[in-house]
Structure 1
Amino acid sequence: MPIKPWRATCIQMQSERASQAPDDAAAREVIKRNQARLVGLIEKALASDERPDLVVFPEFGMSGPPLGMQVADWIARACDRIDGWITKPLRDLAKREGIYIAGNMFEAPEEWPGRYFNSSFIIGPEGTVILNYRRVNVAAFPSVHDFMTDYMRVTPMGDVFPVVDTPLGKLCVIACGEITVPEVARCMMLNGAEVILHPTNSRHSVLQEAAKLARVGENMSYMISANVAGAIGFSPDGTHRGGRSHIIDHMGGTLAFREEADETTSVSALIDIEKLRRDRRADIGLANPHLRARYEMYVPYYAAARFYPPDYYLNAPMTHASQCEGAVAIARANMERVGVLQPLAVGAAEPVSTVEL
């Protein structure tokens, strides 16, 4: 049965930071206020003349980032099961209104004690979480790559880079800066993804804005990118602001965009999956990345790429993001070995890290 065009809306919302609360009880109240703000904005969008079928809200929208907190402390303060109390108001809303809600939270699953993940999810109109992607490429948080052997042993292949087939089409979620990693979107496209949902919490970056268009072009996919309003999570002093929520069609055309960092539900557009499916079948040369892809040529190069060490925290979880410095040093050495990086001059120091913790 053909899929009728449906509406997607970005929930560009402000959010408080649980990491700045004086204690865990106060942090829980911060999260509750963020939940209420988010639910209110979704309800506002639903009451408008452009009622959405699907909404996307920003990365860290319900908690803000940990801002350097110890892993165990952040788990106690702001993490939860993917189907726990943090997502419950959204699950209830999705079921009540019959919509899809996509976003992001910090997940601490019971099966992986001592670890948390930057997880992106989709809630379906039945009020259940129908997709959960645990981010692989991170700078300041734990990753499933940290204990890849154990994780891959028990995780079905389709759940590593998940895609869900829905009446709206095949959907996936990629958070924030991971949109700059081509392989993530490509793996999801190979699993069938037609729409990339992109909850983000980011300052303006020419590279990241370009990456959004690149991922759309490489995979012939729609993108719904919802950024935070006001200051980004990593900018407590308010210097760096969000805005720039963006909906892009599968040919790179802008359907909706807002530069300003105000709180808004105005970034909204119709998504035409049937047109995407027709266009993906059309032989238009390299403008269609599907029909003429030569993936076999790349396999040996990827097979030989061994840089950032997997299983770095296999036997014991990361306790603080600063521990990643050892893994980064290994990655540098491995890249020097094959000539990707050039050795430093004798006596020169490594560049100062600019990772936001």
Structure 2
Amino acid sequence: MAIRPWRATAIQMRSERATQAADAAAARAVIAGNLDRLIRLIETASASSAKPDLVVFPEFALQGPPLGRPVAEWIDWACATIPGPLTEPLQALARRQRIYIAGNLFEAPPEWPGRYFNSSFLIDRNGEVILNYRRVNTAAFPSVHDFMTDYLAVTPSDQVFPVADTELGRLALIPCGEINVPEVARCMMMQGAEVILHPTNSKFTVGQEAAKVARAAENMCYLISANVAGPIGFSPDNSILGGRSHILDHFGDTVAFEEEAGEGVGVTGLIDIERLRADRRADTGTHNPLLRARFEMYRPFYGAAEFYPPDQFLTVPMAGEQDTRTAVEMARANLERQRVLEPLTNA
């Protein structure tokens, strides 16, 4: 059955940081306030003449980032399960408004005690959580790569970089700076992803803005990027602003964009999956980066690539960001061996 064009809206919202609260109880109050704000904005979008079928809200929107807070303390102060107490009001809202809701929160699943994840999730019109992607490429936060052997042993391969097959098309989620890692979007495209939902919480950089365009165009996917309004999470003094929520089509062309960092629901546009599917089939040479792709040529190089070491916290979870220093040094040494980095020489 053909999919009629549907409307997506990026929810550009302000977010307070739970980590800057006085204690765990105050942190939970901050999170509750952020959740209330988000629900009001989604209700506003749903009441408009351009009611969306799907909304995306920013990374860190509910909790803010931990800003160096130890893992165990951050789990106690701010983290939740998916589904859980932070998704349940959104699930009820999705059922009530008959919309899809996509976003991000810090998840602490009971099956992985002592660990939390930067997780991005999708709720369908029936209020069901149908997708949960646990971010792989992190800097300050734990990653499933930190205990990759155990994680992959119990996680189905199609749930490592998951794609949801829905009435709107095949949808995937990539948070914030991970849009800079081409392999993540590639793995999702190879499983059929047609729309990349991008909850982000980021300052302006030329590289990341270019990465959004590149990921959309090189994978022939729509991209719906919702950034934070006001200051970004990694700006404790509130001096660095967000903004630049963006919807791009499968050629990387702009559908909707907001440069300023004000709060609102004005970044909205139509997603035409049938046009995307027709364009993916068209033999237009290198203007179609999928039809004539030669992925087999790259396999030996990826197979030989061993840079950032997996399983660094296989048996004992990461306690804090400082624990990653050894892994970073190992990655640096591996990159030097491959001449990606030039070794330091004594002056």
Query: TM-score, with normalisation over the residues of structure 2?
Result: 0.99
Q: 2: distance between equivalents of 1:10 and 1:336?
A: 41
Q: State the partner residue of 1:36.
A: 36
Secondary structure of the 1:266 match is strand
Q: Quick one: which amino acid aligns to residue 254 of structure 2? A: T
Q: Post-superposition shift, 1:242?
A: 0.2
Q: 2: distance between equivalents of 1:137 and 1:30?
A: 27
**CA-to-partner distance for each residue in 1:300-325, whole Å, 9 max, x for gaps?**
00000001000000010000012111
Q: Post-superposition shift, 1:253?
A: 1.1
Q: 1: distance between equivalents of 2:224 and 2:299?
A: 30
Secondary structure of the 1:301 match is helix
Secondary structure of the 2:49 match is coil
Report 1:182-201 matches (<5 A).
182-201=182-201
- 5+ residue gaps, structure 1, are 348-357
Q: 2: distance between equivalents of 1:24 and 1:84?
A: 18
Q: State the partner residue of 2:291.
A: 291
Q: State the partner residue of 1:329.
A: 329
Q: Quick one: which amino acid aligns to residue 296 of structure 1? A: E
Q: Quick one: which amino acid aligns to residue 343 of structure 1? A: P
Q: State the partner residue of 1:213.
A: 213
Q: 2: distance between equivalents of 1:203 and 1:322?
A: 24
Report 1:222-301 matches (<5 A).
222-301=222-301
Q: 2: distance between equivalents of 1:283 and 1:338?
A: 37
Report 1:145-156 matches (<5 A).
145-156=145-156
Q: State the partner residue of 1:120.
A: 120
Q: 2: distance between equivalents of 1:317 and 1:103?
A: 25
Q: State the partner residue of 1:160.
A: 160
Q: Post-superposition shift, 1:15?
A: 0.6
Q: How many matched pairs?
A: 347
Which runs of structure 1 show a deviation greater than 6 angstroms over 4 or more consecutive aligned residues? none
Q: State the partner residue of 1:46.
A: 46
**CA-to-partner distance for each residue in 1:222-247, whole Å, 9 max, x for gaps?**
00000000000010211110000000
Q: Post-superposition shift, 1:97?
A: 1.1
Q: Post-superposition shift, 1:335?
A: 1.0
Q: Quick one: which amino acid aligns to residue 131 of structure 1? A: L
Q: Post-superposition shift, 1:43?
A: 0.3
Q: Quick one: which amino acid aligns to residue 320 of structure 1? A: G
Q: 1: distance between equivalents of 2:168 and 2:128?
A: 16
Q: State the partner residue of 2:71.
A: 71
TM-align CA RMSD: 0.6
Is the aligned partner of 1:92 residue 2:92?
yes
Q: 2: distance between equivalents of 1:32 and 1:309?
A: 37
**CA-to-partner distance for each residue in 1:241-298, whole Å, 9 max, x for gaps?**
0000000000111010000000010000000000000000000111111110001000
Q: 1: distance between equivalents of 2:192 and 2:314?
A: 31
Is the aligned partner of 1:309 residue 2:282?
no
Q: Post-superposition shift, 1:146?
A: 0.2
Q: 1: distance between equivalents of 2:97 and 2:264?
A: 20
Query: TM-score, with normalisation over the residues of structure 1?
Result: 0.97
Q: Post-superposition shift, 1:128?
A: 1.2
Secondary structure of the 1:267 match is strand
Q: Post-superposition shift, 1:58?
A: 0.2
Q: 1: distance between equivalents of 2:150 and 2:77?
A: 26
Q: Post-superposition shift, 1:343?
A: 0.6
Report 1:338-349 matches (<5 A).
338-346=338-346
Q: 2: distance between equivalents of 1:177 and 1:336?
A: 24
Q: 1: distance between equivalents of 2:337 and 2:237?
A: 41
